[in-house]
Chains A and B, each alone.
Chain A
Amino acid sequence: MLALPLHDLPTRSSSGFLIRYILPRSTPPQLLGLTDRKVLFSTLTMGDLIIGTGHGSPSEFCGHANEVVMSTISVPDVKGKVVYLVSCETAKELGPTLVQLGALAFLGFLEDVIWICDADLTSTPWADKLAEPIMMPIVDSLNTILDGKSCGEAFQVLQDHFRDRLAVEQDEFMASLISWNLDSATLLGNTAAKVFQRPQLPPFFGLGPPPMIFPM
């Protein structure tokens, strides 16, 4: 399952990168924009992987318009699944709860996920070079999971690619944000957990980005 809200600038920026690089490799259900709601999120429990971005707190994960779609007191069936949430602080309480309730592994963040994006690119957020230093390591680690590799390997990719970005970053504020997100990234549960390997994107896929998403 893919949960990608688009209702404000941060969700557009993070969802935009997942729309460009992850959605074409994922299998339905894909809850995009207005459809990312609790009533759907809670009932669509097929598949071996839940990938979501959205606003979050230690115990809650939000969908469209900040509706809480998952919390420590309302968890869908996560048994045998890998859960990857690009959201603030969910690794503090929600992640451990998901693992306790049978999720194979949880990847997420202990603190705020914070980055710089270009507010002029809300219709084509995947083209935002400012957001790349934070978003592309996340995309790369998600693709590692979709390649059928272990969560431990995906987490290593996330850390390594943050460090690579940090090593070449000239702007001190941007470097501090990369370092912050690197330190906040967390893997819980079974590091050897894997999901079914998804096909690679065809070679011609890189020739064109997705169509623009509706204006905010």
Chain B
Amino acid sequence: MPSEEWKKLQEALGKAPTEEARKEAAEALRRHQEASGKKSSKPTLVSLGYNKDYPSAIPLDQVANEIERNPVFFEHIKKIVVKEK
């Protein structure tokens, strides 16, 4: 069953990528990461995209900042997270 933090993240990502919505999603992700407590040394979100408008490697603790800063990345994460059943 999805956690409260995850539901809040999905809800925030479901909105249009306004500055306020991006900030809300970033906060929700930070809370989710805090709750899930990753233990690996340097967990990093990576992808094999070419010429994308977001980095191909983002340390997991920086993903929230990138969501907040970059509307394209917000939309990308939205497609991944919100679609989940």
A130:B80 contact, CB within 8 angstroms:
no
Q: Which of A8-16, A20-28, A142-150, A204-212 contacts B (4 or more CB under 8 A)?
A: A8-16
- Known interface pairs A8-B56, A10-B56, A119-B57; A130-B2 also in contact (CB < 8 Å): no
B43:A118 contact, CB within 8 angstroms:
yes
Q: Return A92 CB to nearest CB of chain B, in Å.
A: 12
Interface size of A as a range: 35 or more
Q: Is the interface of B mostly helix, strand, loop or mixed?
A: mixed
Q: Return A140 CB to nearest CB of chain B, in Å.
A: 19
- Known interface pairs A118-B43, A176-B84; A9-B48 also in contact (CB < 8 Å): no
Does residue B32 face the partner (Cβ distance < 8 Å to A)? Answer: yes
A10:B48 contact, CB within 8 angstroms:
yes
Does residue B18 face the partner (Cβ distance < 8 Å to A)? Answer: no
Does residue A75 face the partner (Cβ distance < 8 Å to B)? Answer: no
Q: Return B57 CB to nearest CB of chain A, in Å.
A: 4
Q: Which of A82-90, A155-163, A188-196 contacts B (4 or more CB under 8 A)?
A: A82-90
- Among A97-125, those with CB < 8 Å from B are 111-120
Q: How far is the CA of A171 from the CA of B48 in the complex (A)?
A: 22
Interface of A with B (CB < 8 Å)? 8-11, 13-14, 53-57, 60, 62, 66, 86-89, 111-120, 129-130, 171-173, 175-177, 179-180, 183
